[in-house]
Structure formats: structure tokens, C-alpha cells
């Protein structure tokens, strides 16, 4: 158990819908990272927040957005869902802004039908 929690564990929804994935970092960690993992693309960095502020963006679609709240939990919002958005979404946290050891949550498996 890494200490990072993610909810829900599984999510099944239809195309065109909107979902919110939630992540709570390890106690004391200020950085939160979101990743998408699909079978053909591997693990892709989406976005990084540090202490409530966006720090870096990766291959995140405009239909996706995220935020980190004052209590440091983070939410990833996915809208206008497409079949290709089906993937495992991981949240990771680390104590510092620089990328040191990242602790990954168990992931949310999203299935878009």
C-alpha cells in the first residue's frame, strides 16, 4: 500500500458523458501527478500539480481538466468521453516539486462503452 488513494476503482460510462476521478496523496506529499495507461500507449503523463498550482502539462486533451484543492486532494475531470479514453488512470504523489520517488495509487479503470 503506497498511501495514495484513488476512487472509484472501476467506472463504466457511455460515450459523451463526463466523469470525475479523485486522488488523495500520501500524507505530507505536496505534488500530485496524473497518468493515463492504455494497452497500446503505455504510461502517459497528463498533468502535475504542486501545492494547489499547476506545474506541468503533458499529453492532456482539452476535454480533460484537473485541479488540486487546499487539502491537497486532486480531481481529474474527463468530459465528452470517447471510446479511446478507456484506460487505467493513475495518480502519483511525491513530497517535493522535483520528480523524486513517486508513489502511485491503485488506479481507476475507466471503461467507455
Partner 1 sequence: GQNIDQPTEMTATEGAIVQINCTYQTSGFNGLFWYQQHAGEAPTFLSYNVLDGLEEKGRFSSFLSRSKGYSYLLLKELQMKDSASYLCAAHQAGTALIFGKGTTLSVSS
- Interface with partner 1 (CB under 8 A): 2, 33, 35, 41-45, 48, 56-58, 90, 98-107
Contacts of 51 (CB under 8 A, 6+ apart): 30, 31, 68, 72
Residue 53 C-beta: closest distance to partner 1, Å: 14
Q: For residue 94, which of 15, 33, 46 has the smallest C-alpha distance? A: 33
Across the chain, the runs of DSSP E, i.e. the strands, are 5-7, 10-13, 19-24, 31-38, 42-50, 53-57, 64-68, 74-78, 87-94, 103-104, 108-112
For partner 1, the closer of residues 17 and 41 by Cβ is 41
Residue 42 C-beta: closest distance to partner 1, Å: 4
Residue 16 C-beta: closest distance to partner 1, Å: 27
For partner 1, the closer of residues 10 and 14 by Cβ is 10
For partner 1, the closer of residues 42 and 70 by Cβ is 42
Amino acid at each position: 500500500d503506497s498511501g495514495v488513494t484513488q476512487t472509484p476503482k472501476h467506472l463504466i460510462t457511455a460515450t459523451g458523458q463526463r466523469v470525475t476521478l479523485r486522488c488523495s496523496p500520501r500524507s505530507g506529499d505536496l505534488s500530485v501527478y496524473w497518468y493515463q495507461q492504455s494497452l497500446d500507449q503505455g504510461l502517459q503523463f497528463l498533468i502535475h500539480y504542486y501545492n494547489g498550482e499547476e506545474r506541468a502539462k503533458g499529453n492532456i486533451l482539452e476535454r480533460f481538466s484537473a485541479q488540486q484543492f487546499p487539502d491537497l486532494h486532486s480531481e481529474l475531470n474527463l468530459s465528452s468521453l470517447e471510446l479511446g479514453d478507456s484506460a487505467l488512470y493513475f495518480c502519483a504523489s511525491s513530497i517535493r516539486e522535483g520528480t523524486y520517488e513517486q508513489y502511485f495509487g491503485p488506479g481507476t479503470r475507466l471503461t467507455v462503452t
